[in-house]
Structure 1
Amino acid sequence: MVFRRKKEKKVKEEPARERISKPQPAEFLVAVNELHEFVLSAKGKIRNYDARGKFVIANNGFRDKIWGISVEIESTNIEGLENLIKIDELNPGDKIERNYTITKKKKLPIELELSIDTTPEQEEQGIAVVYGTDQSVKLQVRIRNNSEAKINEIVFRKEFPHANFISTNFSADAGTVNNYSNEIEWNISDLNPNTEAKLLIEGKVRSEDKEKLDLGSANLSFKAGENLAAVKIKSMESLVKNLFYIQKDEREEEPNIWDCKVIIENISEFPIKIMKLVVKESDNGKRVLDIEPDKILNPGEKFESNVWTVKSEKIPTFHKEAHISVVPIKKIAVLGNGTIEKLTLPVTSVQIKKEFVPNTVGSYRITPIDTNIEIINEGATRIKSLIIKDTIPSDFKPPKQEDIEVILGNKKGKEGITIRLEPNDYNPQSEHKLYIEILDIKRSFGTEFSSNKKMKVNYRMQAWKPKEEYSPYSGDIEVTLSTVEIGPRLTVRIPQEKLPKINVKHLRRKLTVGKSVIPGHEKGEYIITLIFRNRGNTVLKNIELIDKLPKDFSFISGNIEPQEETIDDGKILKFKFNEIRPDDEIRIEYMIRGTGEYKPEDAEILYK
């Protein structure tokens, strides 16, 4: 029988239409998503580190199921995920998810360190700031890729409390930097293995807190690929519908000679991969085809092998083996997201107090005055060394070195304290500068000058016949110090308007002392009145009015109770007063009784 081809009708050619693009193949997704969350100190030390992942197999197709799924996983130090995962079938829209944790984490693939210098003009790097002053600082951010794989999409964000930090300049040797109102964002697209990048931020800081300066926290995020994942896909196989057949054509002019070839059509919605084809003759097992095409077929595509020839009177039959699998879309991502603890700097804050006791003296008199100085550490740094520069005004005689006492807490300084006067004399006609220098406070006192501690300096000088027209007298004082936590050298002064003053008054004592004696109602009784009047311009302190009683008389009653003291010829009555101010008058009335005659001329009053 001869089959003839029908004559094709001529079809009228139509105008060309817009080409319709082929639909994209459906997705057979195999995903590994790992998240590394961490907390770092500003120096890069790991405070907390948690790593976990999710393994996902998903049929994202619309009509075809996938079956016979087998995934071999290579992993170490994880929990929650077996090394061989088998799934019978996945219908369109189905997925399998497995969560796992990474139990033994290696060090972070990325290293970060913040380094600040509060003394950029000095050789030594400073870490402390001074309270209430604007000062320049430099902040360096160093990011290093410690892994053997490239790290991508590195984003470093650093916030700055606006009141505490104002950036003035920034530069980076890699990536781009964006400067927002209170945040700097540094983006690095990729960082090669074992390389690092640096960002330098320059600005000014000001601390209104006496203990610490808060420069805000930071955030670091990055992405990496399969090389840094704890879970790796070693091999994977799966099946989907396809059309596999062998075409057998007997030659027209050579009967019993067959030209054969394998044809595979991808009739699914997924791409498939032909990895190996083996065809054997059924009757003798002769291998006629053994190839590894390593060929990917998208939906609708087909594969044809080379032709092989078989000589047979019968229609040849074959045994075939095909290794075909769905081509998965592998998405392996390692995400890192970390917080860098707040960057805080210790603050140096020192207060000085100074007082004179007494703070008022009489003119043209020699009067001792105690000078008391307090240096209070109100900050968080430890004071390492200091120099006190005190001023002793003219008309005041300086103390001797051995009479100057320096105390830290409750410990007196023993060694390493240098005291000197300029000029080096005790002439009260000249102003003097008193220097007290302590280069190693811990060695001198056996303790540190730490937060909230006080150092006291006490000495006695003498007002040397000062004149009222030069009043008030004062003495400047300043303290220059350095701290254990390196920072700017600090000089502290008491403002002129707050310096203690020594007032000089032309004080002269003028007083009136009187006594009256009146007989009482009964024989031997007498009413005594003592009067003391301060007519001067100075306060009289520690006053004792003293009256004598004859031997045969005793104190009966009075408006003020005296202290009595027995003497050979009678008694002494003492009336004591702490102070009597100018223009004040003291009046004491009391009754005595005795035998014999009380002669007023025998009575007397004493002022002590």
Structure 2
Amino acid sequence: PPAPPADPLGALAPAPAEDAPVPGLEPADLTGEQAGATIRSIAEVEAVAGDKLEGTLHEVETTTLNADGAIIKQNVKGTLTVNNPSADDRIYDIDVLLDNIESTDIGGEHVSVDELEPSKNHTMSYKVNGKQMMTLRERLDTNPSRSQERSLSVAINEDPGAIAMELEVENLSTVELHDVVVTRPLAEQMHFEMVGGADLDDGVITWTVGRLQPGEKQSLSLEGTISVSSTKAIKAGKATATYNADATVSSMAFRELDAFCRGFTYMRVREDERPDNWKCQAIFENRSSFAVDLTKLQVRMKGSDDLLFDIHDVDQDVTPNGKWESEERVVMAQSEPDFTYELVYTVLPRAVQTSEGSMTLEEKKLDVLEADVEKSYSTGSLRSYRNQKVQATMKLTNKGSAPINLMRVTDDIPGLFEAPSADQLTIKLDGKALDDDQFKVEMVEGTTLEKEHRSPDGQGHTMTLTIGTRGPLGLKPKKSIEISYPLVAPDPSPANERVDAPARIEFSAERFGPICTREPTATPSVKVVHNRRNFSAGKQAIPLGGKGRYEVLILFENNGDTALSDLYINDVLPAQFEIKDWEMKNGDGKRDDVTMTSEDGEGGLHIVWHVPKVEKGERLEVSFDIKGSGEVDAEALNRFHGVHFGDEIESEDLPAIESEEEATDAEATEEASSDDVEVKEETAPAMKFREDMLLRVMEAAGIDVAHRDEFVVFAAGYDHDDNGYLKKAELEDAAKAWNEQHADGEEAPAEEASAEEASAEEAPAEESAEEASEPEAAPEESASDAAEEKACMICNTMNAADASVCSACGYTFTE
């Protein structure tokens, strides 16, 4: 500030009310001389008695960092405060000069305040950008055994997984930091062992660092475990560090801080004993409670440029209500000399620069690995000694919160199957096929996982499949990946009573992250069913009282391994006979679900009984009375005209199978065995089927029988299991497709169904059997031939005379 007026009493006169300065604290480009007092240390200032001019720069940092210590969000607010601590005296003409203001928005390096009344202060706020005193870093690793890369995924396992955490603080400033403390709350799933310098209390780690020298780093390493029981991502917690410093974050500092108080300067002049010699002394009186620092005093005699006194930065501070006296100087003058002087002083400044900071790391989430695995075979059972196909499917659904980027599949291929080739494998990620270079298939002999239920047919294979070879797989939560491939069982033996096909899938979110291992919720199992058809059938006509009356008994017993569907029992009555009553019984009584149809045909009345289902071990008896007249052929009356039936029905304890299903007709006569025929026409494929089943399907579908041969050729394309035999379901599929193809109403030309082709159709088994029953059609057999062999009543195959079971169909001969 400028020196006070020359009038010694002028400083004591109060200013007029209208000229009183208005307090304010604003940046100003004021010119003029400042006191230039040296900013002393707090200890030096405190050693001087009296009030001081208090100037404070205080900055508060609040920062959010990422785990590597880089700033995500920062807010540094500063406050410049000028305080008058005196209870009695005001200060005025206050000047603040600042250094290093570049990173602030304070507006200028010179700030002035007009005056401050006793016990008053004024503040000025500002902001700081681009400065940082300290940083905090954290390194989490959920798979510390792999040092290549840190990972942040965890797997749900029975045992807790390993986890490592390292905290690091670094002083980025040029001053010492003190009171450095790091706190780190832990997720409830985490458990760490404490080391020196760290304490754990109520789930919070407290690491007291203390002091950090410029550029110094300190770190804390902890190891522990993490237990995961839920698929929800785990919030790992936020680490926070705090610090204090005796400097500002922005590096801004006081260069000068000065103000005037009540004080004045005057000259004491007295004449020496020698005439015209005057002793002169400069005096400064402090009339306030402040300590005063005299920084400059220059005194001249009026009219002279020579300095009588040239004093800079007086060593002694002027205490409250004290005074300072200079040494005496002798001036020669004929009269009392007159002086001009310049005095610069200030209230002793007490300048403080401080900062405090708090930084918090962005919270990390630990994603959880979890998945459901399903493996299935398209069938659970296979027929013995038949080449069959099975479709294997494995599906993994991401049930966790972490993406699955790498998978390794270990899959047992049982020994009754041939090993699939790599090009038969199909892998779909969320319905879209993976590129071939994104997975790798390896096949080795021998199963790996299954130890007990293995196939005796061979040692099997282990398929190892790595998915994600080119790059991250990217299977997001709730999405699925499906692996499918065909298996061929070329010749399964009955010894395969139970064969298990386990699998294991290991998957991870990161290349070096923890691995989660899962197995299918249910292991597919197959068994070989060794079913063989075995039944007994026969017919006997018993004479009753009265001429031409007979009771007829027909027997059918299912001795096979499975139930039979759609049993048809056939019989032919000679033309001169008529049926009176009939009933069908089994071991439980009368069967009410049986229907009988009859129609006149060649050889007599053709009768068919339809039984929907015959259980395994079930015995059926049909009994009815007939009455007739005329000559009776006993052999024709006792001739059994055969049965035929549909598909075999597996028992309930067997799973559904997709192997080929065969149906067999059984006829007692020579013609009965012709129900399963091979189409003879050169234009037709070599395909087998049941003629009656074919005709029934065509009739149900509304297909004219005139198109039989064309339909047979067409139906050959619907042999789904490629076994050369058309089942009912396959015939129905073909009929449906036939009608769709001919839906435009166009019909095949009539000439395609020529009379010649129509005549090629084989007669129904019943008619053939009736024809065979006519005495004149039966060839005579010599007694010697009859003694050597006999014909089966069911399939007409010739067997040895002493055979008890038919070698072709398994029919049991009755005595």
Q: Which residue of 2 aligns with 1:121?
A: 145
Whether 2:700 is the aligned partner of 1:562: answer yes
Q: Which residue of 2 aligns with 1:596?
A: none
**Is the Cα contact below 8 Å between 1:128 and 1:485 reproduced in 2?**
no
Displacement of 1:576: 6.7
Amino acid paired to 1:308: R
More displaced stretch, 316-325 vs 196-205: 316-325
**Is the Cα contact below 8 Å between 2:382 and 2:492 reproduced in 1?**
no
**Is the Cα contact below 8 Å between 1:387 and 1:435 reproduced in 2?**
no
Whether 2:66 is the aligned partner of 1:37: answer no
Amino acid paired to 1:509: T
Displacement of 1:37: 2.6
Q: 1:348-379 CA distances to partner (integer Å, 9 max, x unpaired)? A: 43442211221244567665332211234445
Q: Which residue of 1 aligns with 2:33?
A: none
CA distance in 2, matches of 1:527, 1:577: 26
Whether 2:200 is the aligned partner of 1:179: answer yes
Amino acid paired to 2:464: I
Whether 2:110 is the aligned partner of 1:110: answer no
Displacement of 1:273: 0.9
Whether 2:623 is the aligned partner of 1:517: answer no
Displacement of 1:228: 4.0
Amino acid paired to 1:411: A
- Among 321, 328, 346, the residue aligned to 2:349: 328
Cα distance, 1:354–1:271 mapped onto 2, change above 3 Å: same
Amino acid paired to 1:127: S
CA distance in 1, matches of 2:490, 2:203: 57
Cα distance, 1:438–1:397 mapped onto 2, change above 3 Å: same
CA distance in 1, matches of 2:302, 2:456: 130
CA distance in 1, matches of 2:227, 2:349: 57
Cα distance, 1:32–1:603 mapped onto 2, change above 3 Å: farther
- Among 317, 320, 329, the residue aligned to 1:296: 317
Q: Which residue of 1 aligns with 2:460?
A: 432
SS for the counterpart of 1:442 is coil
Q: Which residue of 2 aligns with 1:10?
A: none
Cα distance, 1:575–1:282 mapped onto 2, change above 3 Å: closer
More displaced stretch, 330-339 vs 343-352: 343-352
Whether 2:329 is the aligned partner of 1:308: answer yes
Displacement of 1:209: 4.7
Structure with higher RCO (Cα < 8 A, 6+ apart): 1
Q: Which runs of 5+ in 2 are unaligned?
A: 1-46, 448-453, 532-560, 570-594, 601-605, 617-648, 666-689, 712-725, 731-763, 770-815
Amino acid paired to 1:297: V
More displaced stretch, 26-35 vs 40-49: 26-35
Q: Percent identity?
A: 17
- Among 344, 365, 386, the residue aligned to 2:365: 344
- Among 430, 434, 442, the residue aligned to 1:419: 442
Matched pairs, number: 536
Structure 1 segment 358-377 matched on structure 2, within 5 A: 358-361=379-382, 367-377=388-398
Structure 1 segment 45-124 matched on structure 2, within 5 A: 45-74=70-99, 75-102=101-128, 105-124=129-148
**Is the Cα contact below 8 Å between 1:126 and 1:488 reproduced in 2?**
no
Amino acid paired to 2:284: I
CA distance in 1, matches of 2:420, 2:510: 31
**Is the Cα contact below 8 Å between 1:210 and 1:378 reproduced in 2?**
yes
**Is the Cα contact below 8 Å between 1:37 and 1:49 reproduced in 2?**
yes
Q: Which residue of 2 aligns with 1:487?
A: 513
Displacement of 1:463: 8.4
Displacement of 1:161: 1.1
TM-score, normalized by length of structure 1? 0.75
CA distance in 2, matches of 1:461, 1:570: 34
Amino acid paired to 2:419: P
Displacement of 1:421: 2.9
More displaced stretch, 178-187 vs 534-543: 534-543
Cα distance, 1:380–1:363 mapped onto 2, change above 3 Å: same
Displacement of 1:460: 1.5
- Among 165, 169, 180, the residue aligned to 1:154: 180
Amino acid paired to 1:438: T
Amino acid paired to 1:193: P
SS for the counterpart of 2:317 is strand
**Is the Cα contact below 8 Å between 1:369 and 1:461 reproduced in 2?**
yes
Amino acid paired to 2:568: V
**Is the Cα contact below 8 Å between 2:63 and 2:73 reproduced in 1?**
yes
Q: 1:93-151 CA distances to partner (integer Å, 9 max, x unpaired)? A: 3222222233xx33523233222233333331331333213222222222222333333
Whether 2:478 is the aligned partner of 1:456: answer no
Displacement of 1:203: 1.8
Cα distance, 1:276–1:125 mapped onto 2, change above 3 Å: same
**Is the Cα contact below 8 Å between 1:383 and 1:481 reproduced in 2?**
yes
Displacement of 1:490: 4.4
CA distance in 2, matches of 1:40, 1:195: 19
- Among 273, 276, 286, the residue aligned to 2:296: 276
Cα distance, 1:80–1:403 mapped onto 2, change above 3 Å: closer
Displacement of 1:407: 0.9
- Among 222, 226, 246, the residue aligned to 1:201: 222
**Is the Cα contact below 8 Å between 1:471 and 1:504 reproduced in 2?**
yes
Whether 2:610 is the aligned partner of 1:530: answer yes
Displacement of 1:340: 1.2
Displacement of 1:67: 0.9
CA distance in 2, matches of 1:72, 1:246: 32
**Is the Cα contact below 8 Å between 2:98 and 2:252 reproduced in 1?**
yes
Q: 1:472-508 CA distances to partner (integer Å, 9 max, x unpaired)? A: 432222234565442134443347xx42333565652
> Which protein has the larger Cα radius of gyration, Structure 1 or Structure 2?
2
**Is the Cα contact below 8 Å between 1:548 and 1:603 reproduced in 2?**
no
Cα distance, 1:465–1:413 mapped onto 2, change above 3 Å: same
Amino acid paired to 1:419: E
Q: Over the residues paired in the alignment, what is the CA RMSD in angstroms?
A: 4.3
Cα distance, 1:77–1:147 mapped onto 2, change above 3 Å: closer
Displacement of 1:440: 5.2
Structure 1 segment 210-225 matched on structure 2, within 5 A: 210=231, 212-225=233-246
Cα distance, 1:570–1:473 mapped onto 2, change above 3 Å: closer
